């Protein structure tokens, strides 16, 4: 049975066009840490530089968002939000490798009662058919018993500073 998490600590996995603005917005309300496997990206963000130009240096330096490339640093999170890329293969098929790798990483730090929310763009069914099984294969926790999952499709429009992540209504599931 899912128990309400009173003061969720949030980890955002993948700090690109989607993940960084989301993490910065969430950090205004919750303890939030952003995680990215790209050490160079992490170093730049820690220096206040967002090469995607979605977040200004002033916003980054004033934000309480913590940023890391170290998995141990996100181990205390209650909610994991996955915003890694979903490229396509040469045959125009979705390449879910980054999502599977991110799911396996999350699995190594996942605890009972945690929630994993996928925000990357995928086809219907991919969350329960590909992502959640990747977690279950990599840890001893069971879906909908020990941990829970959701899907929250990203609707941002890069470069549009008028309609930002906190202004966009969307349909989510969990
Ligand atoms: N950019 C957009 O306009 C937009 C709009 C709607 C939906 N989306 C979707 O959102 C998702 C993210 O897109 P984006 O544009 O932010 O991508 P991006 O390439 O800008 O950023 C992705 C980040 O994830 C990191 N990453 C990759 N694998 C990782 C892993 N295993 N663990 C941790 N970090 C990892 C990368 O280093 C990179 O910094 C994609 O599925 C995309 O289709 C993007």
Angstrom distance (rounded) from CA 174 to CA 165: 20
Cα 138 to middle of ligand 1, angstroms = 22
Measured between alpha carbons, how far is 23 from 29 in angstroms, rounded to an integer?
A: 10
Cβ(11)–Cβ(69) under 8 Å?
A: no
* Token pair recorded at residue 132: 């959640």
pLDDT in tens, 16-71: 999 999 999 999 999 999 999 999 999 999 999 999 999 999 999 999 999 999 99
Residue nearest to atom 15 of ligand 1 (CA): 17
pTM of the model: 0.96
Q: Identify the pLDDT of residue 170.
A: 87
Catalogue all structural domains in the chain, each as residue range(s) with its CATH number: 9-166 (3.40.50.720)
What is the C-alpha to C-alpha distance for residues 72 and 93, in angstroms, rounded to an integer? Answer: 33
Cα(114) to centroid of ligand 1, in Å?
22
Establish whether residue 13 lines the binding site of ligand 1, counting it when its CB lies within 6 angstroms of any ligand atom. Answer: yes
How far does residue 83's CA lie from ligand 1's centre (Å)? 5
Instruction: Give the tens place of pLDDT for each residue, 66-121.
Output: 999 999 999 999 999 999 999 999 999 999 999 999 999 999 999 999 999 999 99
Burial of residue 55 (number of CB atoms within 10 Å: 0-12, 13-18, 19+): buried
36 lines ligand 1 (CB under 6 A): yes
- Give the list of residues 6+ apart from residue 137 with CB closer than 8 angstroms, or none: 104, 107
Q: What is the pLDDT of residue 2?
A: 63
Would you state the pLDDT for residue 158? 85
d(CA 116, CA 150): 6
> DSSP for 12-27?
EE--STTHHHHHHHHT
């Amino acid at each position: 049975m899912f128990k309400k998490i009173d003061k969720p600590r949030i980890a955002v996995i993948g700090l690109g066009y989607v993940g960084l603005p989301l993490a910065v917005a969430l950090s205004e309300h919750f303890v939030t840490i952003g995680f990215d496997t790209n050490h160079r990206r992490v170093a730049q963000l820690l220096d206040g530089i967002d090469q995607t130009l979605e977040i200004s240096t002033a916003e980054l330096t004033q934000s309480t968002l913590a940023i890391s490339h170290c998995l141990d640093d996100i181990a205390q999170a209650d909610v994991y939000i996955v915003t890694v890329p979903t490229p396509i293969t040469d045959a125009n098929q979705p390449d879910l490798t980054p999502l599977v790798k991110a799911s396996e990483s999350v699995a190594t730090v996942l605890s009972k009662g945690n929630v994993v929310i996928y925000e990357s763009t995928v086809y219907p069914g991919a969350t329960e058919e590909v992502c959640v099984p990747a977690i279950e294969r990599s840890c001893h926790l069971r879906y909908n018993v020990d941990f829970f999952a959701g899907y929250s499709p990203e609707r941002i429009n890069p470069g549009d500073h008028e309609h930002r992540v906190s202004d966009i209504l969307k349909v989510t599931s969990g």
